[in-house]
Chain A
């Protein structure tokens, strides 16, 4: 088990190469706009689009992912949307590695949405790396074989006499004679592609690109302010739309002062839009078009400014009776009764608690949380002649395509969705309603439309990370071993039957299977507020509740909190996972094998973070403390330690964070990986310190970043990251660093002050020195 410290220093790359690749992408972007204005449906297929973008050069296609120019430029398609997780850099790295390409000559491009060519294309669940790592190695290796075959043919020798030791060249091993990939591109494109299953991939010890910290491929465009993001899209003749919805979820407009609005300067039109929910799925993620009022303007500013004058009579509907306060009261009431249903029952918890040497009880609550990517929801659409084209920052392009096709009664082939770089996703852009709005409004107005939310609309009409309440009880025997564990989870339902989206809990939520007597029960409250997945869904909330309570239990047992967790993980599968409960055992999740949870990997990261953080070896001043948490989610094993100082008036300052991560045998791009882990831990801290969406009479109370506060530079601690490299499948890092962060922080606060954080976000008033 080798342990590698993350490398902070990046390999410096030639500035000229960077500028070159940047300008190519820039041209491609502009061409898309211009061609659309000329009435052409944009076709990203080769070589029409490529020829336009590259002028005289022709790209030769080796497969759906790889095109090579005679000038040696290698274009590699990145199949999944880029939302800040770094996939547009890391997936092309995987292909380039096996292709033996010269990375300095690689241009990464966003692939078109084409399920037949690329399979599943989405950004979610930290799946992009585990789903694509091995297949894309073969994509690169296959194209390499075609280049070798082309050279061998040109030289009249067998391919076994050729190698690709020099990146970007096929060499005749015997003579050293070589041909560049560009020189071979035309011939290679005519070679029969080998069977992907049969091609040989490299021994990882020979990797030259994978495992190197590389700077993101779009960075040169970002730092020079080039148009790149969804919001930057522009079409000739385009008008701007704001779309105002009822402040109460599910409400609809009855009437509005539309004539007055239409008379305002810069406003072209204003009208009511009837909503629809054609997918028939429950709650937040499935909303395709809500009822609302559209204002169309010559500029977005004019359309948005008109909102100040807009007067709407709303039919608020039934959700207007719902408030955070009433949910809090209802949850307390439900907690004193029996759960509505039992999710899991092992052994006999009542008996075990009755005979326990010590019983610990703990309540934990967490709020609704908004995703708030910094780029507000937006999309640009052009409807013409029974077809629609949409440009959007999206995590879920195929779902958007499907929703638009269904709502507008079009064949999916007549709905083209272009994935543009997203200014953050965090799960929010798995929803597709803003894409639908743009398409519908373009059809209704007959002109290209860009719809863009203002920040208040963006915060108040999200789908949210669901709130939840946990009522725990645990029993310890005389030696401090955990013998009984109970959770009564009070959560939400959208229809009285099913959980609200992402408001569920898996029956094997840790410590299930590691405690002989365990019961998880669930009660549900009817919620009309849309909910859905947020970065590390379920886990981002459950991590706080379970890892906080386990900390209490550890201290009650008189044990060191890290050692207690290690001991628990070493309680080798006391309870097998019975079939009716499913769980995270080996299974085919539609597209990949899900490996079994491996407690040894949990122990590994806990031991590593204990060593690196100086846990138990530091002398700390008063009201300073260290806390730890471990969580397994999205195939990643992450342990975090935090040190915090709590001021006498209760203000929390995070002094430092240490992270140990195990995501398998290979870190594809250590630079991106480090960024994800650091950002993920800070995301969890930000949520715990300042983020809560409160509901009052069916409305979201928060409006902008003054009352919905995100972590700022002066609050961000240093974050040290360590990887535990283990011989396991290569998995993703977008999500798993988030769940352990809130509990590590709250456990550190408990160590510093003796006070448990029972409710998020952290209220400094509860931490005042007495």
Chain B
């Protein structure tokens, strides 16, 4: 079936089965490889994209449900000033180890900071705990979110 998607501000028509998850349309039909496959069940967050700004697990979102929603992926997130700041903070603080989860982390962090420009540590926990990092770079993810927000990067959850 034919679906017309709005991906990173561009109309894209694809011909796929309606049950195909958005993730696989992005990766294997539109050749946008930035969104990653990790679990296929919405458990790890590596596939996170924005639908109308809302962080969404693309691995469990059938293409038939996307409709005209604005799809933003890691490739396009830099178009927003918040997304650009988050990306820059990730590089400046050298967040990645293997880097595989970081597209999803950046998408989740950008959605958080767009809705809540000055998050507390608790807010960060709430927004980010659905995104797994198997290298456990959480220390730096937390600091980078604060840096992108212009907040002091020190961890204030001292024992």
Question: Complex: how many Å from CA A248 to CA B157?
Answer: 45
In the complex, which residue of chain A has the Cβ closest to the Cβ of B101? A374
In the complex, which residue of chain B has the Cβ closest to the Cβ of A718? B155
Instruction: Please determine whether A224 and B39 come into contact, CB atoms closer than 8 angstroms.
Output: no
Instruction: Please determine whether B103 and A213 come into contact, CB atoms closer than 8 angstroms.
Output: no
Query: Within B47-101, which residues are at the interface with A (CB < 8 Å)?
Result: 73-75, 78, 87-88, 90-101
Tell me which residues across on chain A come within 8 A of B41, comparing CB atoms: 455, 704-706
Q: Mark A231-242, 1 if CB is under 8 A from B, else 0.
A: 110100000100
A225, A299, A302, A676: the one within 8 Å of B34 (CB): A225
Query: Within A295-338, which residues are at the interface with B (CB < 8 Å)?
Result: 299-302, 304-305
Instruction: Please determine whether B96 and A454 come into contact, CB atoms closer than 8 angstroms.
Output: no
Tell me which residues across on chain B come within 8 A of A231, comparing CB atoms: 33, 36-37
Instruction: Give min CB distance, A761 to chain B, whole Å.
Output: 16
Instruction: Please determine whether B35 and A225 come into contact, CB atoms closer than 8 angstroms.
Output: yes
Q: Is A276 an interface residue (CB 8 A)?
A: no
Question: Complex: how many Å from CA A762 to CA B116?
Answer: 36
Tell me which residues across on chain A come within 8 A of B155, comparing CB atoms: 718
Query: Within A468-508, which residues are at the interface with B (CB < 8 Å)?
Result: none
Instruction: Please determine whether A422 and B98 come into contact, CB atoms closer than 8 angstroms.
Output: yes
* A227-B33, A454-B40 given; A423·B138 CB < 8 A: no
Tally chain A residues at the interface, Cβ within 8 Å.
74
In the complex, which residue of chain A has the Cβ closest to the Cβ of B138? A716
A224, A679, A712: the one within 8 Å of B129 (CB): A712
Instruction: Give min CB distance, A214 to chain B, whole Å.
Output: 8
Instruction: Give min CB distance, A742 to chain B, whole Å.
Output: 14
Instruction: Give min CB distance, A533 to chain B, whole Å.
Output: 17
Query: Within A437-454, which residues are at the interface with B (CB < 8 Å)?
Result: 452, 454
Question: Complex: how many Å from CA A719 to CA B140?
Answer: 10
Q: Is A376 an interface residue (CB 8 A)?
A: yes
Question: Complex: how many Å from CA A396 to CA B39?
Answer: 24
* A12-B92, A682-B138, A713-B131 given; A455·B39 CB < 8 A: yes
In the complex, which residue of chain A has the Cβ closest to the Cβ of B125? A714
Question: Complex: how many Å from CA A718 to CA B139?
Answer: 7
Q: Is A220 an interface residue (CB 8 A)?
A: yes
Question: Complex: how many Å from CA A766 to CA B77?
Answer: 46
Instruction: Please determine whether A705 and B39 come into contact, CB atoms closer than 8 angstroms.
Output: yes
* A424-B100, A716-B139, A718-B158 given; A10·B94 CB < 8 A: yes
Query: Within A211-259, which residues are at the interface with B (CB < 8 Å)?
Result: 213-216, 218-220, 222-229, 231-232, 234, 240
Q: Is B5 an interface residue (CB 8 A)?
A: no
Query: Within A7-30, which residues are at the interface with B (CB < 8 Å)?
Result: 8, 10, 12, 15, 18
Give the one of A220, A266, A686, A704 with max B CB within 10 A: A704
Question: Complex: how many Å from CA A374 to CA B135?
Answer: 9
Q: Is B46 an interface residue (CB 8 A)?
A: yes
Q: Is A373 an interface residue (CB 8 A)?
A: yes
Question: Complex: how many Å from CA A683 to CA B134?
Answer: 8
Question: Complex: how many Å from CA A219 to CA B87?
Answer: 9
Tell me which residues across on chain A come within 8 A of B139, comparing CB atoms: 678, 682, 716, 718-719
Q: Is A710 an interface residue (CB 8 A)?
A: yes
Tell me which residues across on chain B come within 8 A of A220, comparing CB atoms: 91
A219, A265, A424: the one within 8 Å of B91 (CB): A219
Instruction: Please determine whether B100 and A229 come into contact, CB atoms closer than 8 angstroms.
Output: yes
Question: Complex: how many Å from CA A86 to CA B95?
Answer: 11
In the complex, which residue of chain A has the Cβ closest to the Cβ of B93? A10
Instruction: Please determine whether A676 and B158 come into contact, CB atoms closer than 8 angstroms.
Output: no
Q: Is A759 an interface residue (CB 8 A)?
A: no
Tell me which residues across on chain A come within 8 A of B78, comparing CB atoms: 224
Question: Complex: how many Å from CA A132 to CA B40?
Answer: 39
Instruction: Give min CB distance, A623 to chain B, whole Å.
Output: 14
Instruction: Please determine whether A216 and B94 come into contact, CB atoms closer than 8 angstroms.
Output: yes
Instruction: Please determine whether B91 and A679 come into contact, CB atoms closer than 8 angstroms.
Output: no
Tell me which residues across on chain A come within 8 A of B111, comparing CB atoms: none
Give the one of B99, B137, B157 with max A CB within 10 A: B99
Instruction: Please determine whether A675 and B137 come into contact, CB atoms closer than 8 angstroms.
Output: yes
Question: Complex: how many Å from CA A8 to CA B94?
Answer: 10
Question: Complex: how many Å from CA A678 to CA B140?
Answer: 9
Q: Is A120 an interface residue (CB 8 A)?
A: no
Instruction: Give min CB distance, B76 to chain A, whole Å.
Output: 9
Q: Is A635 an interface residue (CB 8 A)?
A: no
* A422-B98, A705-B44 given; A679·B137 CB < 8 A: yes
Instruction: Please determine whether A265 and B100 come into contact, CB atoms closer than 8 angstroms.
Output: no
Question: Complex: how many Å from CA A300 to CA B134?
Answer: 24
Question: Complex: how many Å from CA A255 to CA B100?
Answer: 37
Question: Complex: how many Å from CA A655 to CA B158?
Answer: 8
In the complex, which residue of chain A has the Cβ closest to the Cβ of B140? A675
Tell me which residues across on chain B come within 8 A of A425, comparing CB atoms: 98
Q: Is A375 an interface residue (CB 8 A)?
A: yes
* A231-B37, A656-B158 given; A705·B132 CB < 8 A: yes
Say whether chain B's binding surface is mostly helix, strand, loop, or mixed: loop
Q: Mark A617-657, 1 if CB is under 8 A from B, else 0.
A: 00000000000000000000000000100000000000110
Instruction: Please determine whether B74 and A225 come into contact, CB atoms closer than 8 angstroms.
Output: yes
Instruction: Give min CB distance, A611 to chain B, whole Å.
Output: 16
Instruction: Give min CB distance, A17 to chain B, whole Å.
Output: 11
Question: Complex: how many Å from CA A229 to CA B101?
Answer: 11
Tell me which residues across on chain A come within 8 A of B132, comparing CB atoms: 374, 705, 710, 712
Instruction: Please determine whether B94 and A213 come into contact, CB atoms closer than 8 angstroms.
Output: yes
Instruction: Please determine whether A672 and B94 come into contact, CB atoms closer than 8 angstroms.
Output: yes
Q: Mark A662-682, 1 if CB is under 8 A from B, else 0.
A: 000000000110011011001
Instruction: Please determine whether A375 and B100 come into contact, CB atoms closer than 8 angstroms.
Output: yes
Question: Complex: how many Å from CA A83 to CA B124?
Answer: 27
Question: Complex: how many Å from CA A84 to CA B91?
Answer: 15
Question: Complex: how many Å from CA A716 to CA B129?
Answer: 10
Q: Mark A731-763, 1 if CB is under 8 A from B, else 0.
A: 000000000000000000000000000000000
Question: Complex: how many Å from CA A656 to CA B138?
Answer: 13
Tell me which residues across on chain A come within 8 A of B75, comparing CB atoms: 224-225
Instruction: Please determine whether B43 and A423 come into contact, CB atoms closer than 8 angstroms.
Output: no
Q: Mark B136-154, 1 if CB is under 8 A from A, else 0.
A: 1111111100000000010
Q: Is B38 an interface residue (CB 8 A)?
A: yes
Instruction: Please determine whether B36 and A219 come into contact, CB atoms closer than 8 angstroms.
Output: no
Instruction: Please determine whether B136 and A682 come into contact, CB atoms closer than 8 angstroms.
Output: yes
Instruction: Please determine whether B99 and A713 come into contact, CB atoms closer than 8 angstroms.
Output: no
* A215-B94, A713-B124, A713-B131 given; A222·B138 CB < 8 A: no
Q: Mark A450-470, 1 if CB is under 8 A from B, else 0.
A: 001011000000000000000
In the complex, which residue of chain A has the Cβ closest to the Cβ of B97? A84
Tell me which residues across on chain A come within 8 A of B46, comparing CB atoms: 374
Instruction: Please determine whether A713 and B128 come into contact, CB atoms closer than 8 angstroms.
Output: yes
In the complex, which residue of chain B has the Cβ closest to the Cβ of A678? B139
Question: Complex: how many Å from CA A359 to CA B153?
Answer: 49
Q: Is A372 an interface residue (CB 8 A)?
A: yes
Instruction: Please determine whether A301 and B28 come into contact, CB atoms closer than 8 angstroms.
Output: yes
Tell me which residues across on chain A come within 8 A of B131, comparing CB atoms: 713
Instruction: Please determine whether A216 and B96 come into contact, CB atoms closer than 8 angstroms.
Output: yes
Question: Complex: how many Å from CA A12 to CA B106?
Answer: 20
Q: Give me 11 other A-B pairs in contact (C-beta within 8 A), A426-B134, A714-B128, A716-B139 excluded.
A: A84-B135, A222-B102, A225-B32, A232-B33, A266-B17, A374-B133, A454-B40, A455-B41, A705-B43, A711-B136, A713-B125
Give the interface of B toward A (CB within 8 A): 16-17, 19-21, 24, 28-29, 31-41, 43-44, 46, 73-75, 78, 87-88, 90-103, 106, 124-126, 128-143, 153, 155, 157-159
Can you name 23 A-B residue pairings with CB atoms under 8 Å? A218-B96, A222-B90, A223-B91, A225-B103, A228-B99, A240-B28, A301-B24, A301-B28, A374-B134, A423-B99, A672-B94, A675-B137, A678-B140, A679-B97, A682-B138, A683-B136, A704-B41, A705-B38, A706-B43, A713-B131, A713-B141, A716-B139, A718-B158
Which 10 A-B pairs give the minimum distances between C-beta atoms?
A225-B34, A84-B98, A423-B100, A225-B74, A682-B136, A656-B159, A716-B138, A714-B125, A655-B159, A84-B97
